[in-house]
Structure 1
Amino acid sequence: MESEERIIDLEKRVRQLEGDIALLKTKDKPLKSQSMPKLKNEVVTPGVKENKQPRDWEKEIGQVWLPRIFIFILLIGVIWAFRAGTELGLINEYVRVAFGYLASIVLLFFGWKQHLKKHIVLSQVLVGGSIGLMFISTFAMHVLYGFIPLIIAFLLHVLTVGAGLTFSVQLKSQSIGIISSIGASIVPFLLASQEGNLTFFLGYEFIVFLAFIALAFKREFDILYYVVTYGFQFALLAYAIFQVEPDVRLLTGAVVLQHLVLVGMLLIRKQAKESSLFPVLTTAVLTSIWVISSLNTVETNVVLLGLVGLYLILLYLKKEESHKTALFVSSSAIVLFVYFMEMFETSVALLLLVEGLIVILLTGRLKSKLQAVIGAVIYSIGMILTFSMTIFSFFSIETVTWAVLIASLTSLYLLFNDSDYVKRNAVIFAKVFISLLGLVYVSQLAGLTTSDSMMQPMVMSLSWLMYAVLFVAYGFYKNDKITRIFGMALIFFTLAKVILIDIPAVSMAIRAILFLLLGTLGITISRLFYRKAEKTGDSHAPK
């Protein structure tokens, strides 16, 4: 009996333990689902807080913006102090120059001291102000007061540029690099020289460009990259404007060389940043403008077509890098655009349509919004130029251009019609727009079939009818309601034109022929609608 009682007691305990285990399992499931992702996230991103810290505006204003604003105010105060002292007769020219250099040294000293204390922004502002004041002081000593000759002034400016470049590297400061590069670019214009030496000017500007563009490239200073690139362009443009009869061909050669340097630096970079793509594209435009403005026809062909050839070679070599590929396609398109506008006056619309279409079609593969915009702009310019062209002969460049416009628009419609982002209203607008362009094209061709002014309106109406019938037939064949409606609307519009405009000017025989033709076409089209209703089993179709 006792053994049986023990067995029963053990069975009860086993059942109780099984119940407890089942209960623990049900409680453990939500714990796992909630805790495991947190543990995983903690392992993948250790030390990263989920909540983003709020921006400390007090710190940003006090440490970043206050020094930048008030160093500018300080410089203005120094200039006004000079002016007040001069007006009162307390400061002569020598004192002004000495005070300028002394203030520059003081700013440099305190800027470096702040750098050692890890006050980064303040140190950069003070050193940048020091560099700017050095440029101003040397300019005043040389140009305003004539204390030193040109060669010494130039050497002082070069030393200032070197100091700015050095401190920009040491302090890892983009702002100092920007100030130094701007000052370096305008150094030739700060010298009192009656006649500029173009070779020396170009050599100096190009060395400055290489030095600061290398700094921007290495440190990834995006703003400095832009400033140096366009500063070089502005310096050359200023020289061309202010110098008497400058050798623009040499300036153009320097511009082409700068563009090639930017392309080369882009190729060196493994992953192209968007900030380095835009200067290459814009300098391609500026280079093309310089070339067509200064070189003869043969030289223009060699340089611009040579650039396009280079882009195509690089396009093939870098076909696996989508950003660079898109850039070279876009650059080729822009250079060819400028080339076509300059060289092919009669066929420029046709060439731009074809070029824009190719660039747009390549967008689908390269996934570049910039390239899509460039292609659309080029194509739109070609389309606008086509609108201004009147067809005077069947076999002419105008006839071909209009045909290419309609065919290319139709191709683009068919290509993008299946895209998800194309809405119904856009589809309707595209169909109607292309159809109206086709109507204009057919009308121009119809006008060439007769020189009789009395017959031209009738010929126009007949061409419209044929065009409308084609649209209705195509609409039935493709089951396209919009196309059918456009065709029927054109038939009714043509009928109104015939009754109100054409009939009073023609004989009775022509009237009879017209109305017989219109009646036959109308009944035939109506029969097509009956057949469509019968095929679809429409119970409301008239019997």
Structure 2
Amino acid sequence: MEQNKPLEERVKYLEERVRLLEDKLSVTPSKIPVVTSARPVVQQEKKSVEWDVLIFQKILPPLFIIVFIIGVLWGLKAVSDYGILTNYVKVLLGFVVSLSLVILGIWQLKQRRKVLGQMLVGGAIPILMLTTFAMHQLYEMTGPISSFALNVAWIALGLFFTYKYKSQGIGVVSTVGGVFVPFLIQNTMPNIPVFSLYESLLFTLFLWIALRYKHRILYYVSVVFLQIALVLFFFFTDIPDEFRWIAILPIFIQHGALLVGILKVKEWVNQQATILFSIMITTAFWISFVFTSNEAASLFGVISIIYGLCLYMYQKDIIRAPIFIANALISVLYFIQMLASDLLLEGLVGVSFVYLFVYKKFHTILHAILSGITYFITLFYVFSLDIMSWFSWEMLHWIVFVSVTGYGIYFLGKGQSKNKTLVANFGVPYFAFIVLYFLSNASSLIGDKMGSNAESVTMNALWIITAILFMLFGRRFSLQQGKYVGVGILFVTLAKIILFDVLFVSVVIKSLLFIVLGVVGLLISRVYYKK
């Protein structure tokens, strides 16, 4: 007991010390913070650039295969200039070099040197085509049919290698070379059906490979180079009227294939949608350029129906549906232009508003841009119109434009209060400017019949009424911008009267204008300030 007593005293002493420390720190068990374990934040390290892979696998092979092809061409030219080799030997060397590249490339692919092997195999395709071109054009060893058949065989070989090795590089080389095969054949009378069928089939096959193996660059290249080939063909070839439909066939095949692609393929739909929209624009240009108005209107009507059906099937798709709407509206605009050009402005205004609606619903920047472009085209067009009579197309255009502009500003302001304020700050003054410009044009109709005094009185009266309406509108809907814009219109009207009208109108008119404007100003002041 005596030994435990000092121990008990020490325990009591320590407990007392702990109590004193807790009192000093004011810490109680309920105040002790609970420490929760947190997951350590693992920062992902940025991938360092693999310079060896970039330089020796991605840059050097394609660069130096091009250098090698150029060297072969210069070598053949050198031996040709010095007369060392005959034409047959030069052609044979071209085929031997191509075959060697193919064999060496396949061997490299088997050794798992993928990039180098693909570049070697791909480099054989243009050498084969250039050798065939030399046989046909330079040395006249083959005729048009056999040369075309050989070139088609080389492109088929490139297509086979692209498919077998899933090589985008071989596909790009084969596509670029393939679209220009018809231009390498010397022929006094181009075979338009063969050209159209060949280009359509070539594009469809390489597009299928690009979509199947997700070769994005091959996809873009095949689309662009078909358009280039058609531009060159139409530029250098005199196409008879009876062959117009056949000559333009690749355009329709391309458009249809791209549409099927975006409907069936789920990968990179955004990029497909952009390309499809671009092709819709080029298709519209081609149709307008090649066909008569009635033929073009029929085609645009069919295209509108097709995109309408696609929209019905994919109306809930936030990527496909907006593009289908955009393309359908382009077709509708061209349809109106071909058959009812007097209503083109109404079509432009309507399309602009539909684009705005699509932008608000799907939040797509493309439709916001399209809405702005179509609206500003309409703006410049309508401002170039002079209203000649009360019942005219010009008057209808102005009324529709002003009405849609006003509703468009209201539609833009719906939603968040921040957007509403921003739209009101810019939209209300802009709409007032549009209205005043329209009323100025309309008042000129009175001046033409009743004289300049009547025109001045009418214009000022209309402006004053407009100012009152803006202020009443602002008061009714608690819109401060309406009040200030209305007052601004009154000041502009007063400035116009002082600076311009007093110099040309009679004293009676001056008196009437100042009295009316003064009374209106006093009444408005009384309405807004009653103290």
Corresponding residue for 1:80? 74
User: In the alignment, is residue 453 of structure 1 matched against residue 451 of structure 2?
Assistant: yes
Q: How many angstroms does 1:419 deviate by?
A: 4.5
Match of 1:308 among 291, 304, 314: 304
Q: Which amino acid letter does the alignment assign opposite residue 100 of structure 2?
A: V
* Cα distance in 2 between the residues matched to 1:430 and 1:133: 62
Q: What are the within-5 Å matches in structure 2 for residues 193-272 of structure 1? A: 193-246=187-240, 247-270=243-266
Corresponding residue for 2:283? 287
User: In the alignment, is residue 126 of structure 1 matched against residue 120 of structure 2?
Assistant: yes
Q: How many angstroms does 1:426 deviate by?
A: 6.1
Contact preservation (8 Å) 2:405, 2:431: yes
User: In the alignment, is residue 56 of structure 1 matched against residue 50 of structure 2?
Assistant: yes
| Residues 265-291 of structure 1, C-alpha deviations (whole Å, 9 max, x = no match) | 221224562222223222222222222
Contact preservation (8 Å) 1:252, 1:287: no
Q: How many angstroms does 1:346 deviate by?
A: 2.6
* Cα distance in 2 between the residues matched to 1:183 and 1:399: 56
Contact preservation (8 Å) 1:348, 1:382: no
Q: How many angstroms does 1:499 deviate by?
A: 3.1
Q: How many angstroms does 1:512 deviate by?
A: 3.0
Query: 1:480–1:333: structure 2 CA closer, same or farther, 3 Å change rule?
Result: same
Corresponding residue for 1:430? 427
Q: How many angstroms does 1:161 deviate by?
A: 1.0
Tell me the TM-score normalized by structure 2.
0.88
Q: Which amino acid letter does the alignment assign opposite residue 127 of structure 2?
A: L
- Ranges in structure 1 where 5+ consecutive residues have no aligned partner: 20-25, 42-48, 535-543
| Residues 31-60 of structure 1, C-alpha deviations (whole Å, 9 max, x = no match) | x623x567xx9xxxxxxx831221122431
* Cα distance in 2 between the residues matched to 1:186 and 1:506: 73
Query: 1:318–1:106: structure 2 CA closer, same or farther, 3 Å change rule?
Result: same
Q: Which amino acid letter does the alignment assign opposite residue 64 of structure 1?
A: K
Tell me the TM-score normalized by structure 1.
0.86
* Cα distance in 1 between the residues matched to 2:164 and 2:109: 10
Query: 1:510–1:375: structure 2 CA closer, same or farther, 3 Å change rule?
Result: closer
| Residues 141-176 of structure 1, C-alpha deviations (whole Å, 9 max, x = no match) | 111111122232222212211111111122221111
Q: What are the within-5 Å matches in structure 2 for residues 531-542 of structure 1? A: 531=530, 534=531
Q: Which moved more, 1:335-344 or 1:456-465?
A: 335-344
Contact preservation (8 Å) 2:193, 2:247: no
Q: How many angstroms does 1:420 deviate by?
A: 7.2
Match of 1:33 among 37, 40, 47: 37
Q: What are the within-5 Å matches in structure 2 for residues 489-528 of structure 1? A: 489-528=488-527
* Cα distance in 2 between the residues matched to 1:504 and 1:261: 69
Q: Which amino acid letter does the alignment assign opposite residue 527 of structure 1?
A: R
Corresponding residue for 1:326? 322
| Residues 86-125 of structure 1, C-alpha deviations (whole Å, 9 max, x = no match) | 2222233222212211111222222112111211111111
| Residues 410-442 of structure 1, C-alpha deviations (whole Å, 9 max, x = no match) | 223223334577496664332222110110111
In angstroms, what is the RMSD of aligned CA positions?
3.2
User: In the alignment, is residue 116 of structure 1 matched against residue 110 of structure 2?
Assistant: yes
* Cα distance in 1 between the residues matched to 2:33 and 2:496: 84
Q: How many angstroms does 1:353 deviate by?
A: 0.6
* Cα distance in 2 between the residues matched to 1:270 and 1:258: 19
Contact preservation (8 Å) 2:199, 2:250: no
Q: How many angstroms does 1:323 deviate by?
A: 0.8
Secondary structure of 1:289's counterpart equals: helix
* Cα distance in 2 between the residues matched to 1:378 and 1:503: 41
Q: What are the within-5 Å matches in structure 2 for residues 468-507 of structure 1? A: 468-507=467-506
* Cα distance in 1 between the residues matched to 2:484 and 2:293: 52
Matched length:
517
| Residues 367-408 of structure 1, C-alpha deviations (whole Å, 9 max, x = no match) | 322232223222221222111112222222222322222222
Percent identity over the alignment is 27
* Cα distance in 1 between the residues matched to 2:513 and 2:478: 29
Corresponding residue for 2:465? 466
Q: How many angstroms does 1:478 deviate by?
A: 3.5
Q: Which amino acid letter does the alignment assign opposite residue 526 of structure 2?
A: R
User: In the alignment, is residue 354 of structure 1 matched against residue 350 of structure 2?
Assistant: yes
Corresponding residue for 1:188? 182
Q: Which amino acid letter does the alignment assign opposite residue 365 of structure 2?
A: K
| Residues 256-311 of structure 1, C-alpha deviations (whole Å, 9 max, x = no match) | 23312221222122456222222322222222222222223332222111110111
Corresponding residue for 1:539? none
* Cα distance in 1 between the residues matched to 2:505 and 2:54: 84
